[in-house]
Each structure stands twice: as C-alpha cells, then as structure tokens.
Amino acid sequence: MEKTKIVVAGPRGRMGSEAVKLVERTEGYELVAVVDHKHGGKKLNELEGFSTSSVPIYDNMTVCLTEVKADVLIDLTTPEVGMVHTRTALELGVRPVVGTTGFTQENLKELEELCREKEVGCIIAPNFAVGAVLMMKFSQLAAKYFPDVEIIELHHDQKLDAPSGTAVKTAQMISQVREEKVQGHPNEKETLQGARGANYNGMHIHSVRLPGLIAHQQVMFGADGQALTIRHDSYNRASFMSGVKLAVDTVKNVDTLIYGLENIID
Ligand code: NAP
C-alpha cells in the first residue's frame, strides 16, 4: 500500500516536533517536507534535535505544496499563519489536519466553504487528546441536568490565545443542550474588570496561564446541595498524538470540514 505523504508545519514547535516524531515512527506514513519560516532552503537534519530525516525545509507553503507531492498537511503553528497554510493546502488539494488553535468563526466558515468547493477534506481539532474530547462529551451530558456551569482552563504561559479553543468548544457543545441563562446574581458587579471571566451564552470561562502547566481544563457544575467537577489534564504533548494519527487516517476519506475530534471518535 502507498504511504501517506505528510508535510508538517511548525516542526520546531512543542507540538510540531512531536508530530514529526509521530510521522517518522508510524508505519505507512512518510514525512516529505516541513514548513518553517526561519529555515527555508535547509534540510531538516541540519536543525538541532532532528538527526533522522533529511527532508527539505520550505519557508513558503505554496512553494512547498507545489514542489512536493503530499497527501496531508499537519499544521501546528499560530492562528494567522495556520489559517494561510490551511487555505493554501485546500486550494492545492492537500488535506489539512490542523491542531493550531485560535481560528475565528469566520475562518471556520471560509474553510468549510473551501472544502465543499474543492471537495477536499480537512480536520481541525482544538484538542487532540482523546481524554479532553471525553471531558467535553461528559460535560455536554452533565449540562442537561446541571445548567449552572463555569469553565476553568489552565495552560502554560506561552499560549497565545485565550480562552483556549477547547474551552470555547466545550461552551459551544454545552450550548447545544442548555438553554441560555444568566448565571450568578442578576445585579452582580465586577469591582475589578474581568473578575467573572469571559461570557459565552451566560457561561463564564476563566483562563489561567502559568509556567509549568501544559493543558488542563475543569468544568464545574453547581446545583442545590451538590457539585460536579469534570477535569482533564495533559501532562505532555505526546498525549495529543494518538488524536493527530486518528485525524490523519480519517482525513483521507472525507471531503468536508470536520471541526472537533469528538466528531470522529465514538
Ligand atoms: P510553539 O511551540 O510556539 O510552536 C509554534 C511553532 O510555529 C514555532 O516553532 C514557530 O516558529 C512556528 N511558526 C510560526 N510562524 C510560522 C510560519 N510562518 N511558518 C512555519 N512555522 C511557523 O507552540 P505549540 O505549543 O507547539 O502550539 C502550536 C499550536 O498548537 C498553537 O496554536 C497551540 O494553541 C496549538 N495546540 C493545539 C493542541 C491540540 O491538541 N489541538 C495542543 C497543544 C497546542 P518560531 O518559534 O520561530 O516562531
């Protein structure tokens, strides 16, 4: 069987370097190039920490996907760049698997239309950890019975976007089953701006950023005389890679945009 030819964008990043390792160790996958804005023209094994693969490094996605035959792009960069990469891949018929977070609703709408127009599949998942997907699903189930909910997401202090894509996705999933309601006292006032966090359909989302953390979230439900907390912790970036693999294997067989790993695991 032919190998799945993969390009990784953001190979020096914390997530991207794990993705390179995943592709290199997985039977049936072939790393064909990487996209790194600082090292175009070099070979991957010229970079510190990458001794095993001599694939070319491109600093431009269009040039990369025009010169190299690829089936799948794994993007783990930044929101603005990731959007350009994903759009370019779809236009050139390469299927994106996107872990980059911070895409807007407008971005997602545009990509959904592009997938439909080009009939090329794309999977975007704000969280590739299977446990995090279960945390979101369990939270959606709990919200049917506990409509008062606050989401606390905790990440390392180098994260660029807040709230996390996982927190927003969780709030969206809960909104599908929970009638919009204002939580807390109707006359509550913040004496320090931001004290109650962000507000999504009446649900409050709080973002914690501290060195030492990786990716954590707890969804807290309260009702008369009882509380329920659902929590997930990612202790390292390897925790995301089984989800990335599942997405790579799935994206080859779809021709629409799939947003969220929960839509491909059962
Ligand atoms: P990171 O360590 O900062 O890595 C981002 C990488 O992207 C860096 O190596 C950066 O290079 C590179 N980059 C920036 N602009 C680029 C460009 N134009 N072309 C190619 N590469 C470019 O961040 P991370 O922790 O790996 O996270 C990456 C993304 O994944 C973020 O959006 C994060 O929120 C998301 N994430 C997703 C999941 C998930 O499960 N879906 C889990 C964790 C993180 P420089 O260092 O030179 O700027």
Using DSSP bridges, classify how beta strands 203-209 and 29-35 pair: parallel, antiparallel or unpaired: unpaired
CA distance 20 to 17: 5
Q: Of the residues 18, 35, 38, 76, which should be mutated to test ligand 1's pocket, given the most ligand atoms within 8 Å of the CB?
A: 76
The percent of residues above 90 in pLDDT, for the chain, comes to: 93
- What number is the average pLDDT over the span 72-100? 97
Which tokens hold the place of 5?
């030819």
Residue 196: is its pLDDT beyond 80?
yes
CA distance 176 to 143: 10
Closest-CA residue, ligand 1 atom 30, reads: 100
d(CA 101, ligand 1 centre) in Å: 9
Task: Tell which residue, 148, 151, 150, 152, has the closest CA to residue 224.
Answer: 148
Q: What is the DSSP code (8-state) at residue 187?
A: T
d(CA 28, ligand 1 centre) in Å: 25
Q: What is the DSSP code (8-state) at residue 56?
A: B
Q: Provide the pLDDT for residue 175.
A: 97
Map tokens 């804005």 to a residue: 37
Closest-CA residue, ligand 1 atom 14, reads: 77
In order, the DSSP letters of 81-129 are HHHHHHHHHHHTTPEEEE------HHHHHHHHHHHHHHT--EEE-S---
Catalytic residues: 155, 159
Residue 266: is its pLDDT beyond 80?
no
Q: Of the residues 77, 104, 217, which should be mutated to test ligand 1's pocket, given the most ligand atoms within 8 Å of the CB?
A: 77
- The string of pLDDT tens digits covering residues 207-263 is 999 999 999 999 999 999 999 999 999 999 999 999 999 999 999 999 999 999 989
25: Cβ–Cβ under 8 A, 6 or more apart, which residues?
Answer: none
Cβ-based neighbour number of residue 227 at 10 Å: 10
d(CA 64, ligand 1 centre) in Å: 18
Residue type at 229 in one-letter notation: T
- What number is the average pLDDT over the span 189-211? 96
Q: Provide the pLDDT for residue 141.
A: 96
The model's confidence at residue 138, banded by pLDDT at 50, 70 and 90, is: very high
- The string of pLDDT tens digits covering residues 23-76 is 999 999 999 999 999 999 999 999 999 988 899 999 999 999 999 999 999 999
Which tokens hold the place of 185?
């006292």
The model's confidence at residue 265, banded by pLDDT at 50, 70 and 90, is: confident
Q: Provide the pLDDT for residue 179.
A: 87
Q: Provide the pLDDT for residue 104.
A: 92
Q: Provide the pLDDT for residue 126.
A: 87
pTM score of the predicted model: 0.87
- The string of pLDDT tens digits covering residues 93-108 is 999 999 999 999 999 9
CA distance 7 to 53: 13
Q: Provide the pLDDT for residue 86.
A: 98
CA distance 195 to 205: 11
Q: Provide the pLDDT for residue 8.
A: 98
From residue 249, alpha-carbon distances to 167, 173, 246 in Å are 26, 25, 5
Q: Provide the pLDDT for residue 100.
A: 96
Phi, psi (deg, nearest 5) at residue 156: -60, 160
CA distance 192 to 196: 9
- What number is the average pLDDT over the span 141-168? 96
- Residues having CB closer than 6 A to ligand 1 are 9-10, 12-16, 35-38, 76-78, 81, 99-102, 125-129, 159, 215, 240
CB-based contact 72:7 (threshold 8 Å): yes
